[in-house]
Amino acid sequence: MNIQWYPGHMLETKKILKDSISKVDAILEILDARLPVASENPILNGLCNNKTRIKILNKSDLADPVITDMWLSYFEKQRMLSAIAVCGSQKNQAEKALNYCISRITRNRARKVKVIVVGIPNTGKSTILNTLAGKKIAKTGNVPAITRHNQRTSLKNNIDIYDTPGILWPIIEPKERALALATSGAISDTALDYHEIGFFAAGLLLKKYPDLLLKRYTFLHGIPKDESDLIEKIAKARGCLKKGGNINYKKAAEVLIRDLRSGKIGKISFETPKDIKSANEII
């Protein structure tokens, strides 16, 4: 089953992005450190050409640090791409990412260096821009597609940086990739069933981070037997019930998803390099 998610404005955004990339010196591609390959946009491969391009694994404060190190090694050794992990809301880390990029450009200091920030929705592009500027100049939010137009900001050291709208691609497959993106918040919750997203998240956590589940939800008293069992226990403990005491799976799933996205469950990575079949596919 394929998940199709391609809002109309994203087609126009692709045209704008292509034109913008042709005019800059370097590209900061912002990925979600929790799912670096799933959050790569394959469309960019055809737009970036020979430009200096740095993979920024953002939200590293929410990701499993051991697995993040594995990803950095994967990009640099297996795909021969420069990569760095950061928490974009921290100024020293955002500046480190920018300086890492600038150091790889042959620059004429008499003119401004132009750097563009690209990536799919909700990976933290605008957050990084605001952090670098030291003030709020771009809209941010924990929902996808906040930025709708290119925004230019002049930084110190003769650097112009451009924020761009996040775009997805027409067909997201396999289905697990779409569900991982939806769980992370990259796809609008209205595009997929919250019940289905919740079950995906529950399965991921039971398989990879059962210890973190037990630490967060002390009422579990042992690892749940399956996804339904986990969500039912959350529902009963958090009062996610309908009339008659029936389980409200949607509300219970929302509790689980919110806790996962915010980092309340712990530092979690959705995928590892071992899960990758090819450069743009997860198992």
CATH superfamily of 3-170: P-loop containing nucleotide triphosphate hydrolases (3.40.50.300)
Answer yes or no: is pLDDT of 84 > 80. yes
- One of 3.30.413.10, 1.10.10.10, 1.10.1580.10, 2.40.10.10 is the CATH number of 193-273, namely 1.10.1580.10
In eight-state DSSP terms, residue 191 is G
First to last CA, the chain: 14
Answer yes or no: is pLDDT of 105 > 80. yes
Tell me how far apart the alpha carbons of residues 199 and 184 are, in angstroms, rounded to a whole number: 14
What per-residue confidence (pLDDT) applies to 281? 47
Cβ pair 94, 132 in contact under 8 A: yes
CA-based R_g, the chain, Å: 20
Q: What's this model's pTM, rounded to 2 decimal places?
A: 0.87
> Smallest Cα–Cα separation from 181: which of 165, 189, 55, 146?
189
Burial of 18 (0-12, 13-18, 19+ CB in 10 A): middle
pLDDT in tens, 202-260: 999 999 999 999 999 999 999 999 999 999 999 999 999 998 889 999 999 999 999 99
Residue 117 Cα to chain centre, angstroms: 14
Tell me how far apart the alpha carbons of residues 119 and 125 are, in angstroms, rounded to a whole number: 7
What per-residue confidence (pLDDT) applies to 161? 93
pLDDT in tens, 32-62: 999 999 999 888 888 887 889 999 999 999 9
What per-residue confidence (pLDDT) applies to 193? 77
Other C-beta atoms lying within 10 Å of the C-beta of residue 262: 10
Q: Give me the torsion for CA of 86, 133, 110, 105, rounded to 10°.
A: 10
Confidence of residue 7 (pLDDT cuts 50, 70, 90): low
Domain boundaries, the chain: 3-170, 193-273
pLDDT in tens, 118-172: 988 889 988 999 999 888 775 544 444 444 446 788 998 899 998 887 777 767 7
